[in-house]
Homo-oligomer: A and B are copies of this chain.
């Protein structure tokens, strides 16, 4: 992978474990979804929660007014400080977070919050009135029973929207997320989940407009459905997060191949247990996370699949167990490990189950671009 001698020196100079990003794969993944969604006539509003690095923002967004999604106020503050100002905070709003929301809006950010209850609508109206600032809000729609939100045909939809529309806050539209799509493993069910997500959002928007409540934003999205929409008429924007890095869960779902995965954890073999058939490595759950997202998929990848340092997949090897700073690699499918091929001191790359979770364990990402021979360190925005 790293033919360039300068890059190789950078790579070898890093202590393991560390998170390596293959920049060309990342850019390809980002372009692929942007072209797809824009080709269907909607905006792409990438979810910043996977990467949370300001250095990634210029690749996620064409310009500073491009729409972006965040999962924490901390991300919004970081983005706004760099002039990225079109932000949806896609976690249900609570009272204690409103002062920081207000602060960002007063500094010029176009920040929109999310809610799904009359209590939150009253709260937002009161706070907006008290501070003479009409805070924009979307109502979360539940399209498949996986998280928050209200059903598109629930009478509360109109009640909450009316409260906001006639109150001091600003009602802006609806947002839904196809949580069910992460449990789809074939094209037919993915397309069904994608259509269902579109239909739920359009249904909600239609009901609002019939009640003469404007619905400027109709926002949908998840990485699995985003790669499977056929028609986005009436949808204003699509959100997706993990599509830049991709991971083994997304491979299992079928929206990428193992070779598309742009993020891996580089580890060193620190022990052999030939009797048990174990390679012991210096990457445990601190480097990988405890996420076992492939456990309920047709192909369980343990705590990750392996490549050698050239990116060649090591067939039939898996990280099968992790402690805090140790991992155990075993052969699966009746294969066995050739210990001579992987001596103590060897470096291996672990492809993650869930890139959002694995990235969250790292303060920084080591970004290698093998086309332009550049090496960068991207700093992750941490906390809430």
Contact = CB atoms under 8 A, between A and B. Distances in A.
A286 B92 contact: no
Interface residues of A, number: 59
Interface hub of A179, A270, A292 (most chain B Cβ within 10 A): A270
Contacts of A245: none
Nearest to A99: B15
Interface of chain A: mostly helix, strand, loop or mixed: loop
A15 B97 contact: yes
Contacts of A268: 94, 96
Nearest to A345: B95
Contacts of A383: 362-364
B94 A16 contact: yes
Interface string A282-310: 10011101111000000000000000000
Interface in A256-278: 268-273, 276
A282 B92 contact: yes
Given A145-B276, A148-B271, A148-B326, 20 more contacts: A15-B384, A16-B94, A16-B96, A17-B384, A49-B324, A49-B325, A71-B324, A91-B326, A94-B268, A94-B269, A94-B345, A95-B345, A117-B344, A119-B344, A147-B280, A148-B273, A292-B292, A362-B383, A363-B382, A364-B383
15 contacts: A15-B96, A16-B94, A17-B384, A91-B270, A91-B326, A92-B280, A94-B268, A94-B344, A116-B271, A117-B271, A147-B323, A147-B326, A148-B270, A324-B356, A360-B361
